[in-house]
Every structure is written in C-alpha cells, then in structure tokens.
Structure 1
C-alpha cells in the first residue's frame, strides 16, 4: 500500500509520489467505466429528464411544455391500465417464483453428489435469450396444439385459451416467467449451504421438528438472500418487456387475435409511445414515473427489511 506523509507544521497529509502514481493508474483503469456511465447512463437520464418536460417527435426540435406530460400521465387510462397489469403481474410472479425457487433449492440441498448436475440443469434456462423464450411459450401455450394443453387433455382437462382469453393471458405470462427462476434457485442454494449445521443439531436436541427448524433456523439464516431476490425480482418484474412483447405484440400469430389490454405492460406501452407513435416527451415522463415507483417500492422494502432480515453478527 502506498504511504502518505504528514507534515509537522500543518498536519496535512501529503501523498507520496508512489501514492500519486497509483491514483493515476486507478483512474486510468476506472476510465472505461466512468466514460460508459456518463455516455450510456447518466447522459441519457439527464436528456430523458429534460425531454419529459417537452413535446418531441424525434424529427422536430423539442418544444417545452412544462408539466403537460405529467398531467397527461395522471389522466391517461392506458397508462393506468398498463401500470395495473404490471403491478398485478409483479404481485403474482415475485412470491410464486421465490417460493418455487426455495423449494427447488431445498431439494437440491439434499441431492448429494448429483447436486452439480442438477444445479447446471436448473440454471441453463436462464441463458436462453428472452426473444426465444417468448416464441417457445407461444408454441407451448397454443390453444389447439400446444404441449401444455395436450398434457392437460391426457388427464381429461380441457386447457384454456392461454393467448386469447383475457382472463388467462396473465396466468400464461406468469407461467412463462417461471422458466428463468434458475438464478434465484442458485442464490438460495448457496445461502442454504452457508447455514451452520450446529444450529440444526441444537434445535433437534431441543425437540424442534422439521417445520420448526425450517421456520426458526433456515428462514432467518437465509433471510438476506430472500431480501436480495425480493428486491431484484420486483425491479425486474416491474420492467417486464421482451418476452411479452415477442409473444403478443411482435408475432403475427397473435396480432389481432387477443385482447391487447390484458397483455399491455407499462414498459410495452412506454415503448409504443416512444418508437411507434414518436411521443418521446410523453414516453420520457412515463420512464421517470416508473423510476419513482421502483425507487419508492425499494425504499419501503429496505425499511421493512429491518424486521425480518438477519445479518450474522447482528446482536439486535
């Protein structure tokens, strides 16, 4: 580590030539990230914030309109409907995916030497491109010859119209989203493997059964992982776009054959406003509204986490 020198007269710490040279190298290695952040994140965010107060169609010069875009957001029924669909999907997907992932992780934790194989099998679907997932489930959920409805027919159940019936569109999307829960499974498995065996042995000696050990030992010890996936999955669900757009809006088989209101997510509507209707100012206002919603939800989750998240070494 580079040394620093403290002057006797002023008490000010002065960096040595070695420390200054190391700092220059540090800035040099950080430069690609800094440039990328400024050009691809901070810059577009600032531009979007400005455009949200304008009327802009890409072709003509932006015209300042004040808060008109935000007033329109509050009264646009399509915005309210798409936001409602997104929140409904998030409320279904996040708890269900976390529960299934935890169940699979508990099973993997007991597999033994085959754990590495099954861990890979569960994670491989995460590597599937989102567009491919949308097309795959468009075929699986096909009403006439889809594999899921065929499997239901074998047991005497008539499968629903997953892609055309408005009441079944959202359950079909939630079912599709479970395809990529492998990353959450791996996170939970790693957390389970870090739970000290001594705690289970002590609970067993005290007479705790399987459910009591799971509730009072396993859940508190993996609560950090649960909290992390809760935040990450919530943010990802509120930004759901690619799979649904590919499945319902970008495919000729489903265009015009379903009630688009049932599958219009917030980000899909934002995309349409920006790149189909060229309402860039309004779309920018929509983006900032989503940012505020995600920020508020995340802050609430962080605040509530103090009640149920246990961190090792925390005496409270």
Structure 2
C-alpha cells in the first residue's frame, strides 16, 4: 500500500516538473529577448556613463566627470527645469481631464459608448501623427485655431504664436499631450468607478449628501488606488516625453521646450557624446525612481485599499 502511494506521489512530482519545464520553455524566448534588448543595454549604458565613449573610438574611463559635468552644463539645467515645469503642469491636467471625462461618461447617457470611443481614439494615434496635425492646427498665421480666435474678435497682433514663441511653446506641447492622453486615463478611471460598491452611494443618499459631498466622501476615497496608479504612470511618462518635442519644436524656440530625453538624444546622436548622454539618462532614471518611491511610501496616507 505504501509503495503504491509513493509511486503515485513520484508520478505526480514528475508530472509537475514536466509542466514547470514546459512553462519555462514557453517563457525562454521572452526572457532571451529581455536579456538582449533590455538588461544588457541597461548594464552597458551604466558602464558607458563612466567613459568618454563617442560611438566610434575605443572608450577610456573618466570616472564621475560626466556626472559632474551635468551640473555645470546650462543646456542640461534648462532641460531639467523645462522637464519639471512640463511634469508639474501636464500630470495634474491629464489626471483631471481623465477623471472629469470618466465621471461624465460613467452616467447612463445616450451615445455613451460613442463618446468613449471618440475620447479614447487620440490615444490610438501615434504621437508623431498628432504632432504633425497639431503643427497645422496651431500655425500662427493660417492655422484654424488662430483663425477662429481672430473671428471671435482677437486682433492679429495679439494672436498666440503657440509652438513658435518661447512663452507659449511648452504650454502648447502640454495642451496637445493632455488632449491625446486624457482618453487613456479616462478608461482607467471608469474601471475604478465601476468597482465602487453601489451601497455606499445609497448610504450617502440616505444621509442627505449632495453631489459634491458624495464625490468628496465616497467617490474620491474609493478611487484613490486608481488615482495612485494613474499618477505614477503619468509622471513616468512625463519624464519620457520626446516624440512630440522632436516633431513640433525640436527643443525650440531657443531652449524653451528642450527636455531631458531630447537632451540625451542630442548629446548622443548629434554631439556623439555617448558617455555623457548615458550619464544624463541614469540621472533621469534616478529622478523617476525617487519620485516613484516617494509616492509609494506616501500612498499609506491617502490610498484606501
């Protein structure tokens, strides 16, 4: 009897091992791709950041000089300030736009599915295409937006220059990005709203809470996990902004829209300073890591599970 049980256990153990081996074999191609295209470049980039590598000649070790150089580089400082301004404006506006759209479309309205598709559709379009279209829309002299403003009574001398002015270029990029991304976060917030138990709203209604009180005391606290996730995703995305900048302004006018990733691109592929570009890239990684850790630690105080 004992022998039969042991044989059965042995068979089950061998079957489990075969199943595990099969699973690992299915994962192997993805793991190899991760190793070649992500893990190894990350490690190589870290070592390159301590060299004067240009992409053509054999590199030599320069220690922390690339990192020290950043804080004396006016181009880097301008890019860092622009990136911080961009993040502090685009992230709250994107989250707010996504939340308002979700609250509006979570109600039973005629054509609800149609409007969800309309608002989400820009997110399916490439940022390069969005940038090309926005250049036409915001063209200062013949663009339809300025033509509309002029039709509404604004004088030609006071029309915004949008992408072509140091005062408005970064703000225009923010507006375009918020318009593109709001639909994505709208979908995430709608998912969060669907998970709020209906009895909480019923209890608030019995207590005599108005719409604002219901939102403040029921909807917003229950949406905090979704808001936390959306905020992290949005902040990380704001520090990775590049394509819309490259298509519309190329970092200009002057240095008005130069951000960190665009600075990395220019240093690496225009100035052929791969080592210095890698150092900026790892400084950017450090910023994103610190911001994420602060948020992750702070979630205990405002996220309701």
User: Do they fold alike, i.e. is TM over 0.5?
Assistant: yes
Contact kept? 2:90, 2:177, Cα under 8 Å: yes
Which residue in 2 is equivalent to 1:24? 21
Q: Any gaps of 5 or more consecutive residues in structure 2?
A: none
Match of 1:136 among 118, 133, 136: 133
Which residue in 2 is equivalent to 1:80? 77
Residues 8-157 of structure 1 mapped to structure 2, 5 A cutoff: 16-112=13-109, 114-157=111-154
Q: Distance in 2 between matches of 1:15 and 1:89?
A: 57
Q: Any gaps of 5 or more consecutive residues in structure 1?
A: 7-12, 251-257, 312-316
Aligned: 1:277 with 2:271:
yes
Q: Distance in 2 between matches of 1:100 and 1:130?
A: 18
Q: Alpha-carbon deviation of 1:114?
A: 2.5
Q: Distance in 2 between matches of 1:19 and 1:200?
A: 48
Aligned: 1:183 with 2:184:
yes
**Which one has the bigger helix percentage?**
2
Q: Distance in 2 between matches of 1:272 and 1:177?
A: 22
Q: Which runs of 4+ in 1 moved over 6 A?
A: none
Contact kept? 2:250, 2:258, Cα under 8 Å: no
Q: Distance in 1 between matches of 2:159 and 2:13?
A: 74
- SS of 1:166's equivalent? coil
Which residue in 2 is equivalent to 1:304? 298
Q: Number of residue pairs matched?
A: 295
Q: Alpha-carbon deviation of 1:304?
A: 1.1
Q: Distance in 1 between matches of 2:12 and 2:300?
A: 41
Residues 158-197 of structure 1 mapped to structure 2, 5 A cutoff: 158-180=158-180, 181-197=182-198
Q: Normalising by structure 1, what TM-score?
A: 0.89
Match of 2:254 among 260, 271, 276: 260
- SS of 2:298's equivalent? helix
Could you say what the CA RMSD is over the residues aligned between the two structures, in angstroms?
1.9
Q: Alpha-carbon deviation of 1:270?
A: 0.5
Q: Distance in 1 between matches of 2:29 and 2:223?
A: 36
Which segment is superposed worse, 110-119 or 258-267?
A: 110-119
Q: Alpha-carbon deviation of 1:249?
A: 2.0
